[in-house]
Structure 1
């Protein structure tokens, strides 16, 4: 868990720093470059749901009883993929070479951690991050909902355990496509506001459907409904992944480390909460919690955007 937290936190900081440098090098609009970089990254990241499930399906489809050959081969494929990714990471370039040379090479890991904690605590005094934190926390809640509740309470009763891989592949496809599209459409705070609102509306519709009218159906509808929910939920997840990273990159470009540390802190905390409570509450209760969290987080986000636009208009005049 800590390793995953650290990797994605570093990814957000590096990706946004690279986007800023690329925009400066080629005299491009920063918001547009940040949006494209995040869209392409999260699109590729989300595609693991499709590729991973297809590989698993291909390798384990003939699995019987106590045989472990398919499982062993699957682990070898994952190990090779991880090794290749680690090797490619070594070729990442340092965009801020001059700044790196100015830093004290004797800085220790513990001092870096202390510096990061200070940046996180100082950032909590900023009203902007306080208004974004609920949306960050909701992004973690909705991700955990897919892993903990969607597959167990929606997919399995309709499609069976064998259908989980296919449903998650559909979720991954729409997540990837939406991430790429949302990244291409991002050019600044106004576009982020529109895209986030559209993604939130889609998830509100799904939550209301689950809360008021959804039931396990038979026949064709029993197959279509879970896949449709997965597709719509993937769209919402793609929106939140790309737009939250772009938003933090634009608003906190002088404190990227603290901002992305806040992102992963609150996302990880909310994911942990869902996994702790999911076994003791019903699907309806979980949906109500998600719906309330989404409404609160969207209200805080829209208030922030409205206040920011007012302040920008005031200074411009």
Structure 2
């Protein structure tokens, strides 16, 4: 995967993460009733709830998280290579605040509304991630191409 990331950039990995998350959110929306966030329920979902579908959704969420986190740590480490500790500390702080807010509203908001919040956050996060990637790669593209040419000549 490393060679492909070097060749094609971070965009396909981030796109895979967004697709995996959005697919999981949609399948969860179909598979689980709205009030299932509050505990066991006998309400009907849009489709007949299936265990394998819930497991597939958890796999998709894990895949998306792995893709996002790998690329996020790589870009933060690249952008702040000389002073990475404060950058990672700030990232973890913002992530913890967002998690605390989500824990608070999750006991008051139905599952479908939570999925809507996650979908909007996923789209905004993916878009802003791409903006950062494109700006960063635009700044470093010339150096990367020179480096790549140097490696090719040595081989």
Alignment of 1:180-199 (within 5 A): 184=2, 188=6, 191-199=9-17
Query: How many pairs are equivalent?
Result: 132
Alignment check: 8 A CA contact 2:14 2:68 kept: yes
1:265 is aligned to 2:83: no
**Contact 1:200 / 1:298 at 8 angstroms: preserved in 2?**
yes
Give the ranges of 4+ consecutive aligned residues of structure 1 lying more than 6 Å apart after TM superposition.
314-317
Q: Quick check: 1:209 aligned with 2:27?
A: yes
Quick one: distance in 2 between partners of 1:307 and 1:292? 23
Deviation at residue 232 of structure 1 after TM alignment: 0.9
Quote the offset at 1:195 in angstroms.
Answer: 0.9
Larger-gyration structure (1/2): 1
The equivalences for 1:118-267 within 5 A come to 184=2, 188=6, 191-211=9-29, 213-215=30-32, 216=45, 222-267=50-95
CA offsets 1:116-151 (integer angstroms, 9 cap, x no match): xxxxxxxxxxxxxxxxxxxxxxxxxxxxxxxxxxxx
Q: Secondary structure at the match of 1:280?
A: coil
Per-residue deviation, 1:188? 4.8
C-alpha deviation, 1:303, in angstroms = 1.6
- 1:145-184 C-alpha deviation (Å, 9 max, x unpaired): xxxxxxxxxxxxxxxxxxxxxxxxxxxxxxxxxxxxx6x5
Per-residue CA distance 1:172-207 (angstroms, 9 max, x = gap): xxxxxxxxxx6x567559533321221111111222
| Cα distance in 1 for residues equivalent to 2:129 and 2:93 | 18
Residues in 1 aligned to 2:6 and 2:76: alpha-carbon distance in whole angstroms: 11
Taking structure 1 as the reference length, what is the TM-score of the superposition? 0.37
Determine the structure 1 residue equivalent to 2:136: 308
TM-score by length of 2: 0.72
Instruction: Classify the secondary structure of the residue corresponding to 2:126.
Output: helix
TM-superposition CA deviations, 1:9-43 (whole Å, max 9, x none): xxxxxxxxxxxxxxxxxxxxxxxxxxxxxxxxxxx
Cα pair distance change 1:284/1:189, threshold 3 Å: farther
**SS of match in other structure, 2:82:** coil
Q: Secondary structure at the match of 1:312?
A: helix
**2:39 maps to which residue?**
none
Please provide the CA RMSD for this pair.
2.7
Change (3 A) 1:234 1:242: same
Instruction: State the alpha-carbon separation in 1 of the partners of residues 70 and 13 from structure 2.
Output: 10
Counterpart Cα distance in 1 of 2:56 and 2:81:
37
Residue matched to 1:152: none
